[in-house]
Chain A
Amino acid sequence: MTTQFPVTGGGLPTGRPAGTSYDAGTDKPLLQISDLEVSFTTGVGEVKAVRGVDITVYPGQSVAIVGESGSGKSTTAHAVIDLLPGTGKVTGGSITFDGREIVGLPRVEMEAMRGRDIGLVPQDPMSNLNPVWRIGTQIDEALRANGFEGGRAERKERVAGLLAEAGLPDAARRARQFPHEFSGGMRQRSLIAIGLAARPKLLIADEPTSALDVTVQRQILDHLEVLTQELGTAVLFITHDLGLAAERAEHLVVMFKGRVVESGPARQILADPQHPYTKRLVSSAPSLASRRIQVAREEGATPDELLSHHADGEETRRRPIVQVRDLTKVFQIRGARPGASSDFTAVDNVSFTLPRGETLALVGESGSGKSTAANMVLGLLEPTSGVVEFDGTDVAGLSPKEQFAFRRRIQPVFQNPYGSLDPMFSIFSSIEEPLRLHQVGSKKEREARVRELLDLVSLPASTMRRFPNELSGGQRQRIAIARALALKPEVIVLDEAVSALDVLVQAQILELLGSLQDELGLSYLFITHDLAVVRQIADSVVVMQNGQVVEYASTDAVFDNPRQQYTRDLLAAIPGAGLEDAKIAG
């Protein structure tokens, strides 16, 4: 990717000249947050979301705040640009920008600073552009609000220039389009163009790519890095991914429950974390873990030493439990006008085998057809052609009665911990539902089974009386697993089952899945977009792109010796892949 820069002129400051080198200790800090406290007023009183936070950012430097959801990282960032949501208020400490205190600054002065001094690239590209205005108009607004001197034509040219600079091809035409005509990646690039339009000295990038596909994510982050370096813009990254943070920032700030638990040079924190929380984070982050495995393997360790839960015993592998042959699914897409319907092949001639007691990962980005394939394996979707064999029987040929029985042997766990449990059902009813439906045991026996299942997923029996909205994401996912296990299935289809969880919880669930596999001899079909997680759990990998199988091999083979460019791209997109070996604490 080449950057078409500089596009200077028009009366806007362009920041520092490209590639300025700095000398430690001589610069004045650009942003200094000291002892910051942010509170929200809720029904029960004042809740402190951020307590005693100190962060220093120097001009042109990149600093990352790392934390899980609820750690206060986004709140801190929003306090800096004075855009705290709802009842949020800075209740203590100070924030100085370029030596000037900005807490309590009058509204008009803060408005003048936004855009020109501090830019923001927000988190969700889908909701952060106004759907009713053209992209170009929305960038133009940023120029005009910050005193860009120039006529219509100049502004138009500059808008196109900014979009091009953010890596959008055909920028002049794109500027006339509306947000809904853009893909997520394109929208994020537009938001970067908006954030950098007035050449701010500091850019706050709030999880700028977490909603995007991994390969797009990497492209955009690379681009942002080059761009801010050339412009000399300081970047404050907000991210949940320690690997990503370490890769993109020289200074890290780790936050937990509203406090800074550790901060320091990125490499140092990775190599030698001091705080117990940071230690856990370093050891759990999938990107880092997968990197660690890679490094260890290169040094000659065997997989079993690295992964405790790999299926053992050759005898169980003899017969495949699920065999998929030439599976194809074609959807008809209804067009906007009559007769404009077209065929869309979501899954194209896909074959794979899931051996008993093993884990097979289906990896791909959005639109790769991995979930469609999984739904056909589950028997929820009729294949257009091809065969799904379960334990040697063609699933398509089952009578309704046989099909009902087949349901007991294969069960799903889904991605969204907030959507996978019926909010109207108590936890007991949710787990008991499969037993009741399949008329397993008496009422008493079913209750005993529910207790047993809760124990299996390490939740107290008292959870039974609770409702889903009282539980955390990780707990809900445990319940979903318990429900899936209720009928003692042989196969579990895990459709992005850990993708929506925080890093530490993700690690816990992966561990739970591993021990359940050992204990119950389960076979997993693991659907994910995240190759880093695959490294930790799968025995073999099917890489899918546009409905087709790109690569199908053992996990080790895929990671050590990827044969396809697309697989290599995916591997390269794992954050932290570029980190130096052996610098990560184990």
Chain B
Amino acid sequence: MLWYLGRRLLQLIPVFLGATLLLYGLVFLRPGDPVAGLGGERGLPEAVQEQIRQQYNLDEPFIVQYLLFLKGVFTLDFGVDFRGREITEVIAQALPVTFQLAMMALVIEAVFGLTFGLIAGMRKGGWFDGTVLVISLLVIAVPTFVMGFVLQFVVGVELGWLPVTAGRDPDFYTLLLPAIVLAATSFAYVVRLTRTSVAENLSADYVRTARAKGLRRTQVNGRHVLRNSLIPVVTFLGADLGNLMGGAVVTEGIFNINGVGGTLYDAIIRGENVTVVSLTTVLVIVYIAANLVVDLLYAALDPRIRYA
């Protein structure tokens, strides 16, 4: 188990370096002077431009820039943005909000996805299965931002059940609607995955053996069908945490939430490349960490991996 963990961690190092180098390169290694374009139509005074170049090591060779950036990542010091704010501070403010939003979405999709998927898989071909299947198709087909709009308009504005926007200090209640919107597409995938997995396991040989032992149906379903169906679903859910945080850009934009997505979008519009790269790096780290958690969950759920 320890060896397994160690090996996975080792494999993550080149992935982390490669991904950050790729992002950093894409943002900073393109033709044109990133500083010259700042300050709108008139541009910034030459002296200010020079200062910015120095501050962000833009006069160093690319690889040195990148290494300095990496150093910043490891010392949790990303520098300051063009408006003079500590980027670390900005991230520290935005990250918890997005994390809460993503976790809420994760719980929603897990609970509803698993429940619906389980029932549909058990009665494959029945009316419930058919309904769930159609709904999941529709949910996948309607993009998140459309669903965000519609729900915001119908549930928030017309019906007034839930707050329309989150604002400065979002709590559970204000984040509920955005979390539902964020969870929707993944929920559909979880339903479909659970359904297939349950249906497949139902006809597995070991389930027949369990029945032949004389286990009651509920016991067979709980201890064998559900337990084994969880493996691919949990794997999906773990990986999805990273997706949810990265995908929060749209949802946070619609509901005006000051999370990573909103901040990132803001930084993109203002052309604050350092902030953009810093934020995306943090998201990549979250994503990689989530995938590591998936590996561990996988090992915990499937003994074949644990002792491999």
Contact = CB atoms under 8 A, between A and B. Distances in A.
A82 B219 CA distance: 17
A265 interface: no
Contacts of A197: 213
Interface in A122-137: 122, 124, 127-133
A122 to B, nearest CB: 6
Contact of B215 (A119, A127, A145, A191): A145
Contacts of B210: 130, 141
Interface stretch (B76-84, B133-141, B151-159, B300-308): B300-308
B302 A142 contact: no
A285 to B, nearest CB: 27
Interface in B188-225: 203-217, 219, 223-224
A81 B213 CA distance: 10
B212 A119 contact: yes
B214 A336 contact: no
B215 A111 contact: yes
Nearest to A82: B211
Contacts of B224: 130
B3 interface: yes
A107 interface: yes
A427 interface: no
A316 B66 CA distance: 75
Interface of A is mostly: loop
A114 B212 contact: yes
B212 A122 contact: yes
B227 A142 contact: no
A128 B206 contact: yes
Interface string B1-34: 0011001000000000000000000000000000
A418 interface: no
Given A120-B212, A141-B219, 5 more contacts: A115-B215, A127-B206, A128-B209, A132-B302, A178-B304
Contacts of B208: 83, 85, 122, 128
A66 B24 CA distance: 69
A108 B215 CA distance: 10
Interface string A92-136: 000000000000000110011111100110101001111111000
Contacts of A180: 303-304, 307
Interface of A: 81, 83, 85-86, 107-108, 111-116, 119-120, 122, 124, 127-133, 141-142, 145-146, 178, 180-181, 191, 194-195, 197-198, 336-337
Contacts of B213: 114-115, 141-142, 145-146, 194, 197-198
Interface centre among B203, B211, B224 (most CB of A within 10 A): B211
Contacts of A85: 203, 208
B228 interface: yes
A126 to B, nearest CB: 9
B216 A130 contact: no
Interface string B160-174: 000000000000000
Contacts of A86: 203
Given A83-B212, A127-B205, A132 B228 contact: yes
Contact of B214 (A115, A122, A337): A115
Given A111-B215, A132-B302, A194 B3 contact: no
Interface residues of B, number: 30
A317 to B, nearest CB: 49
A83 B211 contact: yes
19 contacts: A114-B211, A114-B213, A120-B209, A122-B205, A122-B209, A124-B205, A127-B205, A128-B206, A128-B208, A130-B207, A130-B227, A131-B303, A133-B223, A141-B219, A142-B214, A180-B303, A181-B307, A191-B209, A337-B7
Nearest to A123: B205
B219 A145 contact: yes
Contacts of B209: 120, 122, 128-130, 191, 194
Interface in B208-252: 208-217, 219, 223-224, 227-228, 231
A166 to B, nearest CB: 15
A86 B125 CA distance: 13
Nearest to A127: B205
A181 B3 CA distance: 18
Contacts of A113: 214
A127 B219 CA distance: 19
B214 A112 contact: yes
B122 to A, nearest CB: 14
A130 to B, nearest CB: 4
Nearest to B6: A337
Contacts of B207: 130
A175 B263 CA distance: 55
Contacts of A337: 3, 7
Interface in B258-308: 301-304, 307-308
Contacts of B302: 131-132
A141 B224 CA distance: 11
A86 B204 CA distance: 11
Nearest to A107: B217
Contacts of B7: 337
Nearest to B216: A111
Contacts of A178: 303-304, 307
Contacts of B304: 131, 178, 180
A128 B205 contact: yes
B41 to A, nearest CB: 59
